[in-house]
Amino acid sequence: MSQIDLDSIQLPPGEDFGIESDDEDLYREDNLELDTGLGNIIIVDNLPVVPREKFEKLEGVIRKIYSQIGVIKDDGLWMPADPDTHKTLGYCFIEYNTPQEAELAKEKTNGYKLDRSHIFAVSMFEDFDRFMRVPDEWAPPETKPYTPGENLQQWLTDEKARDQFVIRAGSDTEVLWNDARQLKPEPVHRRPFWTESFVQWSPLGTYLATVHRQGSAVWGGASTFNRLMRYAHPQVKLIDFSPGEKYLVTYSSHEPSNPRDPQRVVINIFDVRTGKIMRDFKGSADDFAVGGTGAVTGVSLVQIPSKEELRQKNLFSVSDCKMYWQSNGDYLAVKVDRYTKTKKSTYTGFELFRIKERDIPIEVLELENKNDKIIAFAWEPKGHRFAVIHGDGPRPDVSFYSMRSGNNTGRVSKLTTLKGKQANALFWSPAGRYIILAGLKNFNGQLEFYNVDELETMATAEHFMATDIEWDPTGRYVATAVTSVHEMENGFNIWSFNGKLLYRILKDHFFQFSWRPRPPSLLSPEKEEEIAKNLKKYSKKYEAEDQDVSMLLSEQDREKRKMLKDEWAKWVSRWKQMHEEEKLERQNLRDGEASDEEEEYEAKEVEVEELLDVSEEVLSFDYEE
């Protein structure tokens, strides 16, 4: 090797012999912006031009201003001077410990008025490279021909009307169809290291968002999941979509270099389609605080954006207060924990607001035992009923109430109370009517599927150590999962709405399960009512399809049983052949007896004595004794 001149070896132009360069990924079509490591430096322009003797005083003034925002590195303030006049040039460079402190300094001091003649103009050092690339002459942007994009709602046209879900297990993220007819999931797309934190569906199910150290990204498509847009936000921790999927909000918080400084918060609002930042908020956590931490004295219902107060209710002796909105906004429940007269204990009641009725009437509801601890509360989606788990014992009670009474007087009425249930969480079906009374954590995954219309239990089951429960968007199926908070039995179960276990999937290091949301139905209320009235006519087609699938599954079961039976017959045949081949050897072992039947022989017990050893020993004997 020492005799080979490596510099003299040249490959044909464009030929790499299939060996990809280590740096190849830096030049792909993504065209990533690289971190130059200068994001913590700012340039402060419009400073006074002073001679050498005033240099130290001006530096002290600048350091005093900018050291209040963050920690300036040692030798991190440099003010260049003219070598001929020995006067400053009117600008300086300041280097902070972190890019976040540099961004905050730019935000806080750009436009800062030192005096009448000197108003600071602050820029990030990294921006200058971008400014230098601006051409001297304006040129119109290149017009690109329109190319239609993929249909991001293609999944809604599935002929089997199936729903999708996403799971994360180990380093893999997978999107799958829930094929309940086949009693198994069908893969759609799988990718390792798809996200560094978690994944999240958009509210209408159009996009799947992933979270990374550099920011967030959204994915979608007709046949596969392609990256549609990226949103730069270093160290992002949380994301959320607007209800119409037009905007994406990203959030991060950063620890300051100086422990005495407040925590820094960054919130960006992006346009989902273009990736453009529409608004950004940067500052301390205190800047985003709303309201105070004093005692609760009342509840006010305010209309947005007019900020008109629609209803107000004063509250007294309040220990704690929580609010629960019904999904359609028809009702609001305010759970109020109040102190007793002695201030030594508390009791609980509910203030129920009827939002859509005239003057927004308020009704007070107290449980029969108002000292009962409220464990869980949940409104029926799109309905008028709610459920409450209450009690202090190991088996609390579950009560159901309706905001409509029997004679429609507008009074809340109790439907029933279920005594002594192993439940601490409530999960209504998105379509209402059905609810799961779940015993998570200490109750080890107890499940009761309950029909609130009929006030009867449909099924009871258990998913041992279950940590999560989530209904699919149609209310037909429900998933229960054991995530990696437990070391064993990780995976998920899919159940029918009435509590029948359809299939079970085990996954090591299981982190997340999430159904893909569906957009609202495009059918009018009249059309939905017409379909409900003629459901039998429409259901014949699907009942026939279900029967075909059932017959197919039965045929598959028969084939499987036949295969097992054939395998058993082959094993028996091989055993008989081996038994026949060993017949002579067995006969020899029986001293010539040919029969293998035990009943033809008489069992006799024979005792055999065998002398193993004989030894003699002379013992001395004293006669006087």
pTM for the full model?
Answer: 0.69
Q: Is the pLDDT of residue 608 over 50?
A: yes
Interval 174-212: pLDDT, tens = 999 999 888 899 999 999 999 999 999 999 999 999 999
Backbone phi, psi, residue 372, to 5°: -60, 140
Q: What is the DSSP letter of 521?
A: P
State the pLDDT at residue 615: 82
Residue 23 has pLDDT above 60, yes or no: no
Q: Which two tokens stand for residue 213?
A: 């150290």
Report which listed range, 116-130, 248-262, 388-402, is most confident.
388-402
34-41, long-range: CB < 8 A, 24+ apart: 36/126, 36/129, 38/125, 38/126, 39/99, 39/102, 39/124, 39/125, 39/126, 40/95, 40/96, 40/97, 40/98, 40/99, 40/101, 40/102, 41/93, 41/94, 41/95, 41/96, 41/102, 41/124, 41/125, 41/126
Among residues 389, 387, 390, 386, which one has the least CA distance to residue 373?
Answer: 390
What 3-state DSSP class applies to 410? Answer: coil
CA 256 to CA 512: how far, in whole Å?
A: 32
SS3 state of residue 565: helix
pLDDT (average), residues 540-569: 79
Q: How confident is the model at residue 30 (pLDDT cuts 50, 70, 90)?
A: very low
Q: Residue 348, Cβ neighbours under 10 Å: how many? A: 19
- Interval 540-562 mean pLDDT: 76
Mean pLDDT of 12-31: 44
- The pLDDT score that the predictor gives to residue 293 is 56
Q: What is the share, in percent, of the chain residues with pLDDT greater than 90?
A: 53
Kindly report which listed range (262-271, 324-333, 578-587) carries the lowest average pLDDT score: 578-587
Say whether pLDDT at 17 is over 50: no
pLDDT, residue 7, reads: 53
Nearest to 473 by CA among 162, 131, 97: 162
**Cβ proximity of 211 and 231 under 8 Å:** no
Please tell me the distance from the alpha carbon of residue 202 to that of residue 605, in angstroms, as a whole number. Answer: 83
User: Looking at residues 535-559, what average pLDDT do you find?
Assistant: 75
Mean pLDDT of 401-412: 77
Q: What percent of the chain has pLDDT over 70?
A: 90
| Angle between the N-to-C axes of helices 55-66 and 99-109, in degrees from 0 to 180, rounded to the nearest 10 | 100
Which residues touch 466 (CB under 8 Å, ≥6 apart)?
A: 438, 440, 445, 447, 480, 481, 482
pLDDT tens figures, 118-127: 999 999 998 8
**In the predicted model, is pLDDT for residue 386 greater than 90?**
yes
Residue 331: strand pairing partners: 354
Q: Between 97 and 16, whose confidence is greater?
A: 97
For the cut 90, the answer to whether the pLDDT of residue 148 exceeds it is no
Please, what sign has the CA dihedral across residues 142, 143, 145, 148? positive
237, 247 Cβ separation under 8 angstroms: no
Amino acid code (one letter) for 94: I
* pLDDT tens-digit map of 282-302: 887 777 665 555 566 789 999
Residue-wise pLDDT for 292-335, tens only, equals: 555 667 899 999 889 899 999 998 888 889 999 999 999 999 99
- The answer on pLDDT for 115 being more than 80 is yes
pLDDT band per the 50, 70, 90 thresholds, residue 561 = confident
Does residue 19 carry a pLDDT above 50? no
Biggest CA pair distance of the chain = 141
Compute the mean pLDDT over every residue in the chain, rounded to the nearest whole number: 86
Task: Please provide residue 594's backbone torsions phi and psi, each rounded to the nearest 5 degrees.
Answer: -90, -30
Contact 492, 519 (CB under 8 A): no
**Nearest-angstrom CA–CA distance, 250 and 234:** 10
Q: In the numeric block, which tokens belong to residue 52? A: 């050498």
**Confidence bin at 24 (pLDDT 50/70/90):** very low
Q: Which two tokens stand for residue 210?
A: 């992933």
Provide the β-strand partners of residue 349: 336
CB 60 within 8 A of CB 54: no
